[in-house]
Structure 1
Amino acid sequence: MRQGSFQWMKSVNKSTILNKIRKEGPISRAQIARETSLTPPTVSSSVKELIEQKIVEESDFGQSQGGRKPTMLVINNQAFSIIGVDAGPESIECIVADLAGKVLKRSETKLQLPIAGQEFIDVLKDCIEEVLETKDPVIGIGVAMHGVVDVAAGTSLYAPNLGLSNIPIKEELEKAFGLEVKVENDARAMALGEYWFGNHGEVESMLAVNVGSGVGAGLIIDGKLYHGSSDIAGEIGHMTIDLHGEICECGNRGCLQTFVTGPAIARKVADNSVETPLTAEKIFEGAIGGNDEFAAILIEAGRAMGVGLTNLIHIVNPEKIILGGGVSKAERFILPAIRETIEASALTPAASRTKVEVSKLGDDATLIGAVTLLLVDVFE
C-alpha cells in the first residue's frame, strides 16, 4: 500500500497531541489536556482518531493515583515506515525505518563517475525500489543530498563532488513513487537526525558537523533547522582559516576543508607519492600503530577544526556541537585538539566549555536524518 501526503495528521491539535505522546509517552489523556491547554473532549476526540489511524495505541503502563488506573497512550512506532536516502558522493544508500528511527531494511549502490543527471536519478529510483517492498504503508521518502539544495523545490542546485547541478529530485521521485518526498542538504539532515535521535536531552540549539570528503554543518536553533536566506546556512567547509593557504576547489584560499577533510588529511603526508596513495583511514590506522608523523597530521587537522568551530561558537553560540562523518572516527587524535583549541580561543569561560562530542548514530547518522525529514512533517 502506498500512502500520499498525510494531510489527515496536519491539524494543529493532532500535531500537538502526537508530539506530546512522542516525547513523554506513556502519558494519559488527562495529563495531555492539563499540559497542552486543550480541552478534555478535544483531546479525547483527537486521540480516538489517532488510534483509528493506528499511529497511537493504548498501553497499560499507568499508575493509579487512587481510583481507576488511567489508560496510557504511546506512539505505535510500527504503524508506518519511511524511506531514507543518503545520496552520494560515492554511493547511494537507502533504508526503510519505522517511526522510532529503527532500520528495518537497507540497500546500497556504488556510483560510477562521471555520471549524468538522469543516470543519477535512475540509480536513486533503483535503490529506493529495492527497499520499497514493505507491507507497512510508507509515509514518504527523505533524501539527504550533498551540496546546495533548494529545499522548497526539492532540487539539488549544485552537487560539487558529482559535478551535477539542477537535479529535480523531488519532482522525479514523487512522479515515480506517488509518495511525498523531502530533499535536504546531507549535513542539515544529519543535524535533524541528531536532534531527534541522538539522546542529547533538552537542547534548544545544536550544531552538527559532517566531516568526510567535504565539510558541512547543520544548525538547530530553537528546535528547528536553520536554512538561512538562500539555503546555504551551514556551508562551513568554505570558511577561510588561512588567507595564504592552499587553493580550495571553490577557488578561494585556505578554506577549512583544505585542512580537515579525508582527502586534505591524505595530502598532508610528505611522501604521499608512494605507489599506492594513502587515504585518511590508512593514516589513522598508522597513527594508532604508533606513527608519530601521522598522529601529528591528525592533531593538526583537529586544531584547524577547533579554529573553525570557535568562529561558529562566537557567531551562533550553540549549546552543543556534534561531529559525524568518516573523519570523526579519528576522534582520539582529533577531539582533544578541537577541545583544547576552543578552550584556549573562545571569548568567555562559558563559551570555552561548549560541549563537543562525536555522534553516537555512527555511519547511519545521515540516513536517520533523511528519515527525520518526514517525521518532522508528521509530528510537528
Structure 2
Amino acid sequence: MQQGQRGSFQLMKSLNRSIILNKIRVDGPISRADIAKETTLTPPTVSNMVKELLSSKMVVEIRQGESSGGRKPTLLTINSEGSYLIGLDIGPKYLRCISTDLMGNILSSSIEPIPFPITNERLLEVVKHQVGVIIDFHKGDSRKLIGIGIGMHGVVNVNLGEALYAPSLQLRNIPLKKELEATFNTIVFVENDARVMALGEMWFGNGTTSNHSITINIGRGIGAGIIINGKLFHGEHFIAGEIGHMTIDISGGKCSCGNYGCLESVAAGPAIAERVKRELSLGKKSIITDLINNDLDRIDGRLVFEAAQKGDQLCEEILQQTGRYLGIGLTNLIHIINPQQIVLAGGVSKAGDFIINSLIETIEQRVLTLDAKKTEIRVSKFEDYATAIGAITLILEHLFSPSSTIGS
C-alpha cells in the first residue's frame, strides 16, 4: 500500500492559501480578480497561490464568467475529485469509517464491530485495518489522501491526539494520532465524538447559521459539543460538554462514573432499557415482551422505540419521561450557554416526537425568559454517520480556516 503524503496537507495550510481556498469553497465558482477584490490579498499573490493550488489539483478551472468589458474571466472551484478525506467514528460498539471529497460528500463507508475483550493494541489494529480498506477503495492511492479525522467517545487530549479515557471500552491513553500518522504518513486529528458532531453540524448540517450552538449526542452515553462564537469549546482539561454527568436527581441511581443521579443514568439508552425491565418486573404489561420472547436481557432502546410505535403505553410513557429528564438537562445548558439552537444526535434522538415533545414542553416550563424558551431544538440529519462526518470536518477546518494551526 502506498503511504500518504503529509506534504499535500502542508502545501495548502498557509494563511494565504487558506484564505483563497475558503473563498473558493464558500463563493465559488469565482474569478481570481474577485478573490483579490474580496480579500486583503494582492492580485499577484492570488495568481501565484492559485497556480500552486491548480498544480496540486485542489482547485480546478471551469467555464468562463461574464465579461465586464474585457476578456471573460476564468472561474475557479474546489476539485471534489482531486483528493479525499477519511473520517472515523470509534464508538462503544462499532467502528464506522467513511471517505469524502473536500465538499463533505461521502464516497465510501464501512462499519466493523469492535471485538471484545479489547486492548489498546487490538483497537489500533482494527482502526488501521479499516483505514486500509478505505484506501484500497480509492485504488490504493494514498497520495490523494489529505488527512484522517477521528471522533472518539470519552475524554480526548486534542493537542496530543490521544484518547485519555474511553469509558465504554474501559481503555486509557490510546495514542491514535501518533500511531496512525506513523503508519499512513498523513495528518491525523482526534477529537471527542460529541464535539465533532457539533463541528459537522456547523459546517454541513442544522447548525450552519448559528454562532452559538450545542449538539447533544444521546446514545449509550450523553455528551455535548459546544460551539461558542463559531469555535469548539474544550474547557481547561478537555471535559467541557460532559453533560451526561450533570446531576439531575441527587437521590437517583448510581451512574457508570460512580456518582448518583447523573443525566446519563436516567436518559441514556441503557437507562431507558433498565426502566422498562424494572416496570415489567413489577408486573406492568407491555407488548415488548412479545418482541423479546420474554428474554428481558434483549431489551434495548431500539426495541422500546419499536414498541412505542406500535402503541405500547408503557414504552411511550418511559420515552416521554426520558424527554422530561433531557429537558431538565437542556434547560441547565440554556441557562449557562444561552445557545441559538440545540441539535440532538445519537441513537436515542431517533425516538423523535416520543421524546422531543416532552423535552420541549419541559424547556418551555422551566427556562427563564420568553426568547430563551424558544431556543430552537432540532434533530441531526446525519443519523448514524454524524460522528464520522464531523470527523472529516476536523481536517476541513484546518484547511479552510486561516486561524487554525496544525498539531505537532
> Same fold by TM (over 0.5)?
yes
Moved more, 247-256 or 128-137: 128-137
8 Å contact 2:201–2:208 — kept in the other structure? no
Taking the aligned partners of 1:311 and 1:235, their CA distance within structure 2 comes to 13
The aligned counterpart of 2:82 is: 79
8 Å contact 1:242–1:253 — kept in the other structure? yes
The aligned counterpart of 1:320 is: 341
Q: How big is each residue's C-alpha offset from its partner over 1:312-331, in whole Å with a ceiling of 9 and x where there is no partner? A: 11111111111111111001
The answer to whether structure 1 residue 8 and structure 2 residue 6 are counterparts is no
Q: Give 5+ residue unaligned stretches, structure 1.
A: none
8 Å contact 1:91–1:111 — kept in the other structure? yes
Q: Kindly state the Cα deviation for residue 351 of structure 1 after the two structures are TM-superposed.
A: 0.9
Q: For 1:13-52, list aligned pairs within 5 A.
A: 13-52=16-55
Which AA in structure 2 matches 1:69? K
Equivalent position to 2:243, from 220, 226, 236: 236
Q: How big is each residue's C-alpha offset from its partner over 1:132-158, in whole Å with a ceiling of 9 and x where there is no partner? A: 122451011111111001111111110
SS at structure 1 position matched to 2:168: helix
Taking the aligned partners of 2:380 and 2:281, their CA distance within structure 1 comes to 30
Equivalent position to 1:308, from 329, 332, 356: 329
The aligned counterpart of 2:101 is: 98
The aligned counterpart of 1:172 is: 179
Q: For 1:243-262, list aligned pairs within 5 A.
A: 243-262=250-269
SS at structure 2 position matched to 1:264: helix
Taking the aligned partners of 1:151 and 1:250, their CA distance within structure 2 comes to 22
SS at structure 2 position matched to 1:142: strand
Q: Kindly tell me: are residues 275 and 371 of structure 1, through their superposed partners in 2, closer, same or farther at Cα, counting changes over 3 Å?
A: same
Q: Kindly tell me: are residues 36 and 120 of structure 1, through their superposed partners in 2, closer, same or farther at Cα, counting changes over 3 Å?
A: same
Which AA in structure 1 matches 2:101? D
SS at structure 1 position matched to 2:258: coil
The aligned counterpart of 2:384 is: 363
What is the Cα-based RMSD across aligned positions, in Å?
1.6
Taking the aligned partners of 2:281 and 2:73, their CA distance within structure 1 comes to 67
Equivalent position to 2:320, from 277, 280, 299: 299
Q: TM-score, normalised by structure 2?
A: 0.89
Which AA in structure 1 matches 2:211? E
Q: Kindly state the Cα deviation for residue 123 of structure 1 after the two structures are TM-superposed.
A: 1.2
Q: For 1:178-197, list aligned pairs within 5 A.
A: 178-197=185-204
SS at structure 1 position matched to 2:280: coil
The aligned counterpart of 1:210 is: 217
Q: Kindly tell me: are residues 199 and 297 of structure 1, through their superposed partners in 2, closer, same or farther at Cα, counting changes over 3 Å?
A: closer
8 Å contact 1:323–1:356 — kept in the other structure? yes
Q: How big is each residue's C-alpha offset from its partner over 1:39-61, in whole Å with a ceiling of 9 and x where there is no partner? A: 22222222222122111112227
Q: Kindly state the Cα deviation for residue 259 of structure 1 after the two structures are TM-superposed.
A: 1.6
The aligned counterpart of 1:290 is: 311
The aligned counterpart of 1:198 is: 205
Moved more, 319-328 or 129-138: 129-138
The aligned counterpart of 2:127 is: 124
The aligned counterpart of 1:348 is: 369
Q: Kindly state the Cα deviation for residue 62 of structure 1 after the two structures are TM-superposed.
A: 2.9
The aligned counterpart of 1:145 is: 152
The aligned counterpart of 2:65 is: 62
Q: How big is each residue's C-alpha offset from its partner over 1:289-331, in whole Å with a ceiling of 9 and x where there is no partner? A: 1111111111111111111111111111111111111111001
Q: For 1:151-166, list aligned pairs within 5 A.
A: 151-166=158-173
Q: How big is each residue's C-alpha offset from its partner over 1:225-246, in whole Å with a ceiling of 9 and x where there is no partner? A: 1111111111110011111111
8 Å contact 2:206–2:378 — kept in the other structure? no
8 Å contact 1:187–1:210 — kept in the other structure? yes
SS at structure 1 position matched to 2:163: strand
Taking the aligned partners of 1:163 and 1:249, their CA distance within structure 2 comes to 11
8 Å contact 2:202–2:209 — kept in the other structure? no
- Count matched residues: 380
Identity %: 52
Q: Kindly tell me: are residues 328 and 348 of structure 1, through their superposed partners in 2, closer, same or farther at Cα, counting changes over 3 Å?
A: same
Q: Kindly tell me: are residues 57 and 266 of structure 1, through their superposed partners in 2, closer, same or farther at Cα, counting changes over 3 Å?
A: same
Taking the aligned partners of 2:46 and 2:345, their CA distance within structure 1 comes to 40
Q: How big is each residue's C-alpha offset from its partner over 1:251-277, in whole Å with a ceiling of 9 and x where there is no partner? A: 111111112111111111111694233
Taking the aligned partners of 1:13 and 1:63, their CA distance within structure 2 comes to 26
Taking the aligned partners of 2:132 and 2:281, their CA distance within structure 1 comes to 41
Taking the aligned partners of 1:317 and 1:88, their CA distance within structure 2 comes to 29
Q: Kindly state the Cα deviation for residue 217 of structure 1 after the two structures are TM-superposed.
A: 0.9
Which AA in structure 2 matches 1:204? N
Taking the aligned partners of 1:251 and 1:200, their CA distance within structure 2 comes to 33
